[in-house]
Amino acid sequence: MASLSSNAHPLDRKSSLACVAPLEAILFDIDGTLCDSDPFHYYAFREMLQEVGFNGGVPITEEFFSEKIAGVHNEYLCSILFPDWDIERARQVLVDKEAMFRRLISEKIEPLKGLPRLRQWIEKQGFRRAAVTNATKLNAELILSKLKLTDFFEIVVLGEECIRAKPFPDPYLTALEKLNLSNEHAFIFEDSVSGVKAGVAARMPVVGLGTRNPEEALINAGASFVIKDFDDPKLWEALEEIVKKVE
């Protein structure tokens, strides 16, 4: 990855993925990366937390959701949101929240702009791919099914199935192990600070999706660069650079 001079602003980072050439695999987060699902998560969290009297019954803000909740595995959220609660009671609130989330998205979910184009390009190039997520199994399966991506991914790695979920690197390292690939020839798409940190800790470049989280937060977490969606010219310039490097 290109190094930064001591006085360079992190948002000035060059949009390059050339360091992974020849590219062998692309790893994707699911929530907020394949689709704009955060608004549904935010609504479900806001309703459920208000119902149980969190923050004195005052609804959480989008800023609180982005900073404290987005991308964080539910098991970690239990201690973050309910540090004084019995763990089973806290887990049940989050189970109910996920059920509400699935009801909300079941008929409204759409692929992030440019995803069909990117899928076609990846399949044409013959790159390996995996979905790596902190989402529950039911959420992941529903989203992939609704987006017609179940057959696109060779494997799906769940944070709950790893020793540690994101922001630890374990889910991404598990994906590489299952694909029998090196981190030297793969990169990641992520939309959350937690996910970016996990990818960086797994020693892979991470392309941030500025779907909902601030670009600067993703860059500060270690994203190589941030794109608006999968149609972003920055992404396609970087992908073409990878292909040209091995021609």
191 among known catalytic residues: no
Say which amino acid occupies 96. D
- Considering only CA atoms, which of 42, 86, 20 is closest in space to residue 241? 20
In this structure, how many other beta carbons lie within 10 angstroms of the beta carbon of residue 187? 21
Number of H helices, E strands in the chain: 10, 6
Among candidate residues 12, 31, 36, 170, the one labeled active-site is 31
Among candidate residues 12, 29, 96, 229, the one labeled active-site is 29
29 among known catalytic residues: yes
Find out whether 112 and 211 touch, Cβ atoms under 8 Å. yes
Find out whether 207 and 15 touch, Cβ atoms under 8 Å. no
Beta bridge partner(s), residue 133: 158
For 54, half-sphere exposure in the C-beta direction (CA atoms, 13 angstrom radius) is 21
Just list the catalytic residues.
29, 31
